[in-house]
Structure 1
Amino acid sequence: MGDLKFDVNARDSSNGPAVFVAVGHGEEELATEPHQHARGQLFGSLRGLLNVELDEGVWIVPAIHAVWIPPHHRHGGRTNGPFHGWSAYVAESACDNLPRHPCAVRTSGLLREAVLRASQWPSGVFDKQMQHVAEVILDEIRTLPVEPLGLPFPREPRLQRIARALVANPADDRDLERWAAWASVSSRTLSRRFVAETGFHFTAWRQRAKLMRSLEMLAAGMPVTAIALDLGYSTASAYIALFRRTFAETPAAYRLRLQP
């Protein structure tokens, strides 16, 4: 991902400091290939939107949120337009009482200041003052509220094929029966297993996929009405109402949070 790769290189292990932070920025849309490492990783941004994909699902990371990835979870990422972000790497030995599963959290001012302080640490040094800052970062990961930004994937291969197709094109208006036929699975099995494996009914999941894509479109500066129509909503007000129920604010208000 160029400057945004956040590559841990030789430090991709639990050796060294409990926490270290890398920062990156870029003006073009960039991506990093799926990979995994022994350290836990917290992605965050100061500007722009980051898309993080794991085997378990997709997370969208606007500037007011961060995504936690425990050690050894395969993941990749891409930016949506200009981006300035950071990534905190946590030694596996320090992850015991941190979330066991990937999740999104709302960042606090304290976490943001702590990771920016840590990003300035010289390599090879980890003194008592740095340890205090690292403990603040760990405590924030441990206690910050989890946010509903994840889009979990089903595990069953045929259902996952449907899920990935909808992520690629959330506006696809095929109904459950047509999707079931496309994937060679019965509609009853599709409905039942989607709930069992994702926690969402199929219709609710695809609405969530649309909302996740709309965050990217908001970050790109698209008008709210154009977003609603492109994603297949009957009216802009229908999109705004669903967005407000999910994120507790309007798309326009949320867009302001994506700015520097």
Structure 2
Amino acid sequence: MCRMQAKHPPVIDPARADDGDGPLLFAALSSGDLRMTAAHSHARGQAIGALSGLLTITTERERLVVPPGYAIWIPPHHLHGLDAHGPVSAWSVYLAPGACAALPAQPQVFQVSGLLREAVLRASAWPAAGLMSAPTPAQERIAAVILDELSAAPREQLVLTMPTDRRLLKIAQALTADPADPRSLNEWAEWAAIAPRTLTRHFVSETGLSFSDWRQRARLMRAVELLAAGHAVTSVALELGYDSLSAFIAMFRREMGVAPGGFAASHAAALALP
């Protein structure tokens, strides 16, 4: 059940996300403190964008981080729960199953274009009457822009797929809890009672990433959370096990397209918006 408290009533109650025949429904949510939603799913696909604050989405196999200016795509019938880290302002778009064909079959995080943001904000002002079953020509054009922008959005590196093999999952859960753990692949294999070659082969097949790339992704996502919480860049680098601040900055810039200091500043500026 959603416990996120809205400053203003949502345009569409998320509990009614599967109502109506129209291709798109919209809801605007915001929160003044830490809230979460329990695991649930919709017959419609859902895109959730963070205007300010930080969201973490957990599915049956993935963990996804959504900073300000980013959004997550959740396909229809995909079980998911949400954590809002501190003050959050966010939007949601619900898409009819037939409108989801051009979108990924798995959850994805993507950067929100200026055009998508403005189109969603425009659509969020539409009246709920009719639940978009009879949109006007102008509304149809805005809806088409939103669908085009969602389909064309570049995917980001803020998705962490968990393995299903119990031994690999044990390792993944330990690294998620402590991404700075310095143990080598061979040490992790011995700890989980699995052959190193088996660990290497199955990690790629089950997560799509090599073990080292998966561990780096886990560190990146923790870095995003810590920076969004106001931690200094140096302290984040040390907490994640980096001996060199420059190595951490280079990794973050390579994956996120911006230095960690710039990301933190952008996050702080987003929180300051009315």
Q: TM-score, normalised by structure 2?
A: 0.88
1:27-176 alignment runs, 5 A limit: 27-125=32-130, 126=132, 127-128=135-136, 129-176=138-185
Q: Partners of 1:221 and 1:244 in 2: how far apart?
A: 18
Q: How many matched pairs?
A: 259
Show CA shifts across 1:100-146 (max 9, x none).
22212210111111111222222223322222221111111111222
Q: Partners of 1:21 and 1:139 in 2: how far apart?
A: 16
Question: Are 2:17 and 2:94, in contact at CA under 8 Å, matched by a contact in 1?
Answer: no
Task: Quote the residue 1:25 is aligned against.
Answer: 30
Q: Partners of 1:34 and 1:176 in 2: how far apart?
A: 32
Question: Are 2:53 and 2:87, in contact at CA under 8 Å, matched by a contact in 1?
Answer: yes
Amino acid at match of 2:43: A
Question: Are 1:64 and 1:257, in contact at CA under 8 Å, matched by a contact in 2?
Answer: no
Question: Are 2:17 and 2:44, in contact at CA under 8 Å, matched by a contact in 1?
Answer: no
Deviation at 1:242, TM superposition (A): 1.2
SS at match of 2:129: coil
Task: Quote the residue 2:4 is aligned against.
Answer: 2
Deviation at 1:12, TM superposition (A): 2.3
Task: Quote the residue 1:16 is aligned against.
Answer: 21
Show CA shifts across 1:152-184 (max 9, x none).
222323212321221122122233233223333
Show CA shifts across 1:177-197 (max 9, x none).
332233332222112111222
Task: Quote the residue 1:211 is aligned against.
Answer: 220
SS at match of 1:63: coil
- Identity among equivalent positions (%) equals 45
Mapped pair 1:193 → 2:202: yes
Amino acid at match of 2:73: W
SS at match of 2:253: helix
Q: TM-score, normalised by structure 1?
A: 0.92
Deviation at 1:7, TM superposition (A): 5.6
Gaps spanning 5+ residues in structure 2: where?
none
Gaps spanning 5+ residues in structure 1: where?
none
Deviation at 1:39, TM superposition (A): 0.6
Q: Partners of 1:7 and 1:58 in 2: how far apart?
A: 25
Q: Partners of 1:157 and 1:8 in 2: how far apart?
A: 35
Amino acid at match of 1:208: R
Runs of 4+ with deviation above 3 angstroms: 4-7
